[in-house]
Structure 1
Amino acid sequence: MGESFQKIVDLDATAAEAAELGHTLLARLVAAQIVVATPSDCVLGEPFGHAPGARWRTVVTEPDDRLFTRLRTNGLRVVTGRTVFFAGPDVYRVACPHCHVADRSDDDGPSAQWSRFWDAVDEWHRGASDGFACVHCGAFVAMNDWAWDDLPWAFGNLALEFWNWPPLAPSFVADVGAHLGHRVRRTTGKL
């Protein structure tokens, strides 16, 4: 079966503001009874997370009481700090938003664009620049501006990480972005 996750990543929060924004978001979700206030061992990784609250159904598209609420891993974790958010070791297709040339990373190995992308990911994670030039057209593209085919990646300092929740409602994702006043991206994956 495995463990699935969904993350709402703030694409614009700075490292300096991420912790406060995360605290504000968590307080808002607790007040709305989306999650409970008391941390518990309900997420993978550390620190502890927050279990679903009485109104968790209001933020998902397919509420399923039969399974979700009975899972041990079913909480929300607020992630802060410079992080690359991605779905896992699947095949990815990414395109330059300027020239629209797409490149894949698959079993045959990475293309020239993907090789450069991996280098840029490593550089970004270490605190370097926020993008790199497309190998096809030369245009500089910020890390969060690449066009993803199916399983988007996100680069940021703040995310809400939901473990094993039913699909989050697009209106909820948009509401989180509106509350933050920032662009957000939903990423998904399974371990």
Structure 2
Amino acid sequence: MGDAYVWVADVDARPEEAAMLAGRVMDWLEERGVVRGELTNCLLGDELGRAPGPHAARVVTAGEAPPGTGACGVGMEIERRVYTGAGVWTATCPVCGARTEPAVSGPDMWTREWAPLVDDLYAWFGGTGPAGGACVRCGERSGFPAWAIDPPVAVAHLGLVLWNWPRPAERFLAELSVVLGGHRLVTARTTV
């Protein structure tokens, strides 16, 4: 079994408030004993994060094992990011209901017809595009949070990343949303 991480993206955080909100979240997690106060080398790569605290089990669903040791920490990402998992995902237009179609064969994730939507995601990530994608069927442009994407994909300026943790419990996500001022959260688990 390889390493994996759970990401929780705040799709409502504006770039100018992301650092303040990240500090609020980390303070809240530390006060609850979910993470330890000091930064350590508990993430994969060169970044520092917070190791699980004595009450890390508060984050996970009852019956799930709490996080362990090693590359098992929590970090905050305060930057323009597209959060996604590996593999093929589908997107449904919020205006007309058209759905992306996976490619039958070849290296493309979708049929070439839907490539403009992927291009819109890359343009947003690169800082040159709007925070929405255009439907190839109806032509309407909708913000990325309005698209129904499965498995979840999120565009955000703020993300909580939990390395080698199980998926967070719904009650934890609801509490986290309150800490973030009622912001909408999107989450998924990704294996690397």
- Residue-by-residue CA offset, 1:73-110 (whole Å, 9 max, x unaligned): 1110111111111112x011111122222113446232
CA pair 107-161 structure 1, distance change in 2 beyond 3 A: farther
1:93-134 C-alpha deviation (Å, 9 max, x unpaired): 111122222113446232245301121012101222111221
User: Which shows bigger deviation, 1-10 or 104-113?
Assistant: 104-113
The aligned counterpart of 2:166 is 166
Aligned-pair distance for 1:58?
A: 1.1
Give yes or no for contact 2:75–2:161 (8 Å, CA) kept in 1. yes
Superposed CA RMSD in Å reads: 1.6
Query: Are residues 1:3 and 2:17 paired?
Result: no
* Identity within the alignment, %: 30
Once residues 155 and 23 of structure 2 are traced to their aligned partners in structure 1, the CA distance between those partners, rounded to angstroms, is 19
TM-score, normalised by the number of residues in structure 2: 0.90
Which residues of 2 match residues 135-174 of structure 1 at below 5 A? 135-149=136-150, 151-174=151-174
CA shift in 2, pair 1:15/1:176, >3 Å: same
- Partners of 1:91 and 1:106 within 8 A in 2: no
Q: Which amino acid aligns with 1:137?
A: C
CA distance in 2, matches of 1:100, 1:26: 38
Paired residues of 1:43 and 1:76 also in contact (CA < 8 A): yes
- What's the secondary structure of 1:165's corresponding residue? coil
Amino acid at match of 2:174: A
Residue correspondence of structure 1 range 2-151 to structure 2 within 5 A: 2-61=2-61, 62-64=63-65, 68-69=67-68, 71-88=69-86, 90-106=87-103, 108=105, 109=108, 110-112=110-112, 114-127=114-127, 128-149=129-150, 151=151
Distance 2:42 2:23 in 1: 18
**Alpha-carbon distance, 1:143 to partner:** 1.5
Residue 51 of structure 1 aligns to which amino acid in structure 2? A
What is the CA–CA distance in structure 1 between the aligned matches of 2:188 and 2:95, rounded to whole Å? 23
State the Cα distance separating 1:20 from its structure 2 match: 1.0
In structure 2, do the counterparts of structure 1 residues 31 and 148 end up closer, same or farther at CA, with 3 Å as the change threshold?
same
Q: Secondary structure at the match of 1:20?
A: helix
- Structure 1 residue 169: Cα displacement: 0.2
Could you list the per-position Cα deviations for residues 6-31 of structure 1 after superposition, in whole angstroms to 9, with x for gaps in the alignment?
11101011111111110111011000
Contact 1:33 1:55 (C-alpha < 8 Å) held by counterparts: yes
Match of 1:179 in 2: 179
The two structures have a TM-score, normalised by structure 1, of 0.91
Gaps of 5+ in 2: none
Q: Tell me which amino acid in the other structure corresponds to 1:115.
A: A
Distance 1:148 1:160 in 2: 20
